[in-house]
A and B are shown apart, each in its own frame.
Chain A
């Protein structure tokens, strides 16, 4: 019997066991669906429905105009306020996330072309959202001035607000700045990591717990055959799940694969050597499935936090950026984004291919070599 025969019978046996358990169907189909639905809609840095309080001390036609430009669209939700309220109280009472204060002479100053000022008070607890809200509000105000100046061009002198240089920005690849285009490849990368690492982390230790590993050890099966027999099924399962996730992303978010499917699969297989290797390394070192779970979760959380999924890597301190650089998940995530959104070619991603291959070789090699056929 050839070595391939031994591996094939291993693969067959794994699949028989996997397919017999209902959990696996959940992993294959329900997990991607839930992750995409929940995280795809929830994890977004777009800011919507900001509760805006407006304290209008002017009550002129201009101030009403300004207010109405805030209330159109779904970014701001103007909350009712009474005259006696003040900005700080509105925010600390959680009635508003930002408050616009229009001073008494706003309309008159504006009509006369005099410098006028508006006050914007923001809840700075969540710095990122506050910054986004601030820029939205500034945009609305700038917009308002521009519109006003166009309509009254012939009547009053232009207020010196519009600068001489106009900046026209063009957003490539994601013109609508849809957050989902950025998060969904990230979610898929996380999904692939979680599934492959969990499955492989449990694999050996489950046999250890059941006692079957002891029986396997006394057979003349070679280390690499045992590893291959265990990991090839997980590789296939994870790739199927990846496929399901891509299909669902297309159905739910209208995500279209801009790049080549082949490149995507190639990178996924290369990356899986690392994540499966990490799992099997954990599995050969621990003594119970519980410990395996604990260790794989710990590693995964660090990998995910340092992947650039929640916080851009460039925001991190230099030392952490270096750790992120050796985090294979961050490279895989980058690659997925590039392929899915930009349609980057294999040649453009060659640096990432080298990094991921090296990591796969290192981690997988180490985990195979450190596994001993002993009790």
Chain B
């Protein structure tokens, strides 16, 4: 059985269409990534799943319950971590955990047991009495995750959980997610970071409210048709301008200190030599394997 089944979902804010005809299925014990730039509709999608937003068309089924009519059942069985940090900063770590345990009607003995487990992976126990507002960004996110897990939900929905968190804490956070998955929890996580996308079992690429690609990260990348080249030069701006005249703007992407060039056919060595003679500052031109980011940027076009 799927933990989440979304069919032809459309959400409108007035006349603005935030999501249109989204289809999505999440299998149990899986990390499902929702990938997309800001404004793609990630948060809208997650809020709809959490029964926080009314939707106009389509259907959402969470753990076998209908999101439109059985919000209460769904809310008791899922954990949600909104994009903005949303715990009480003026309460301590322990008080926040206890408060949310109470709201989810977790009894005291069970709460203590659960808290022990959560402390184990979050390593927050030494800070139990510290005010939440005084925690570091990474610790705050771990606490928010702990609060979302306090009632042992079957599915957790995490909206950009690693946004604004340092790289070390991000790695640690993802280790925790893999551990949770191993424990049988299904995870839907949104992220704007492509490196995190490749850690998911399945991803859905969202752009302007529409699904532009779906599948495992490997499948998504292997679905790539064409060749990708990395070109470098001391003067990237000039190289970019040069390549624009040769290959067209749509096939170019600036990537830090290199330019990625998409080509439907293999570039012959003659062609590369031609370019080099025309543009002597071109240092290298090698074929590379596309990454998630290349795939996404390509799909957006």
Interface of A is mostly: helix
Is the beta-carbon distance between B95 and A219 smaller than 8 angstroms?
no
Looking at B50-58, B161-169, B266-274, the stretch in contact with chain A turns out to be B50-58
Contact count band on B: 20 to 34
Is the beta-carbon distance between B82 and A1 smaller than 8 angstroms?
no
Is the beta-carbon distance between B53 and A374 smaller than 8 angstroms?
yes
Interchain CA distance A215-B84 in the complex, whole Å: 10
Instruction: Identify the closest chain B residue to A8 (Cβ).
Output: B102
Interface check B80, CB cutoff 8 A: yes
Is the beta-carbon distance between A1 and B106 smaller than 8 angstroms?
yes
Question: Contact partner of A212 among B50, B87, B95, CB < 8 A?
Answer: B87
Is the beta-carbon distance between A220 and B76 smaller than 8 angstroms?
yes
Question: Contact partner of B86 among A9, A21, A211, CB < 8 A?
Answer: A211
Is the beta-carbon distance between A215 and B80 smaller than 8 angstroms?
yes
Is the beta-carbon distance between B105 and A215 smaller than 8 angstroms?
no
Contact count band on A: 20 to 34
CB distance from B174 to the nearest CB of A (A): 22
Instruction: Identify the closest chain A residue to B89 (Cβ).
Output: A210
Interface check A256, CB cutoff 8 A: no
Interface check B90, CB cutoff 8 A: yes
Question: Contact partner of B102 among A5, A16, A217, A218, CB < 8 A?
Answer: A5
Interchain CA distance A373-B82 in the complex, whole Å: 15
Interface check B75, CB cutoff 8 A: yes
Is the beta-carbon distance between A13 and B47 smaller than 8 angstroms?
no
Is the beta-carbon distance between B75 and A374 smaller than 8 angstroms?
no
A7-40 CB mask vs B (1 if < 8 Å, else 0) is: 0010001001100110000000000000000000
CB distance from B141 to the nearest CB of A (A): 13
Question: Contact partner of B103 among A210, A213, A214, A216, CB < 8 A?
Answer: A216
A to B CB contacts below 8 Å, 21 in the list:
A1-B102, A1-B107, A6-B102, A6-B105, A9-B103, A13-B88, A13-B91, A16-B91, A17-B90, A21-B90, A211-B86, A212-B88, A214-B52, A215-B147, A218-B75, A219-B103, A220-B72, A220-B76, A220-B104, A373-B71, A375-B53
Q: Which residues of A contact B (CB under 8 A)?
A: 1, 5-6, 9, 13, 16-17, 20-21, 210-221, 373-375
What 17 additional pairs, Cβ within 8 angstroms, besides A214-B52, A373-B71?
Answer: A1-B107, A9-B98, A13-B99, A16-B90, A17-B88, A17-B91, A211-B82, A213-B86, A215-B87, A217-B52, A218-B80, A219-B103, A220-B75, A220-B104, A220-B105, A374-B52, A375-B52
